[in-house]
Amino acid sequence: IKERTLVAVKPDGVQRRLIGEIIKRFEQRGFRLVGLKMLQAPEKLLAQHYVSLQKKPFYPSLLHYMTSGPVVAMVWEGHNVVRSSRMLVGDTDPAGAAPGTIRGDLSVHISRNVVHASDSVQGAEKEISLWFQSAELIDWEGCD
Ligand code: CMP
């Protein structure tokens, strides 16, 4: 099944110069980059993105973290890319993220876990439409 998912390098990932490392892992796996931009995420966008977490005690600090610097938002396309991206990224809590995953290799704390990836096909569709306009997504054929 060809799918698309939203992946974002969070502000700590940008500050730690990990953009290239994260892109490299998705490219090497064989996924296709169809959208890419750097932005200072507006609070309104983050409020929609994290709507299901609004009642959580860590929500204010999550918004503070996500607005502490620019974010690199990407849309990746490929066979089962939603599930595979979650595997590439690793567990939400870096302490439980397997070595070899992005979080398992590059992060320590759940509140600074360097990267986001959509957790379901439905969630991905919603998140992609929040972060990107359709004209910003480029259809291109690879050699797969
Ligand atoms: P992510 O799964 O990308 O999206 C929700 C984010 O909320 C998650 O990454 C963490 O950055 C953050 N988060 C989840 N649980 C906690 C927690 N217990 N404490 C702090 N941040 C959290």
Catalytic residue (choose from 49, 79, 109, 116): 116
Please state the pTM of the whole predicted model.
0.96
Identify which of 94, 72, 92 has the alpha carbon closest to the alpha carbon of residue 17. 72
Residue 3, helix vs strand vs coil = strand
| Chain mean position to CA 25 | 13
Atom number, ligand 1, closest to the C-alpha of residue 65 = 11
Give ∠ CA 121-124-129 in degrees, rounded to 5.
135
Ligand 1 pocket, residues with Cβ under 6 angstroms: 53, 58, 62, 92, 110-111, 113, 116
Q: Is the CB of residue 7 less than 8 Å from the CB of residue 78?
A: no
Q: Is the CB of residue 94 less than 8 Å from the CB of residue 107?
A: yes
> pLDDT tens, position by position, for the chain (144 residues)?
789 999 999 999 999 999 999 999 999 999 999 999 999 999 999 999 999 999 999 999 999 999 999 999 999 999 999 999 999 999 999 999 999 999 999 999 999 999 999 999 999 999 999 999 999 999 998 655
Catalytic (active site) residue 116: yes
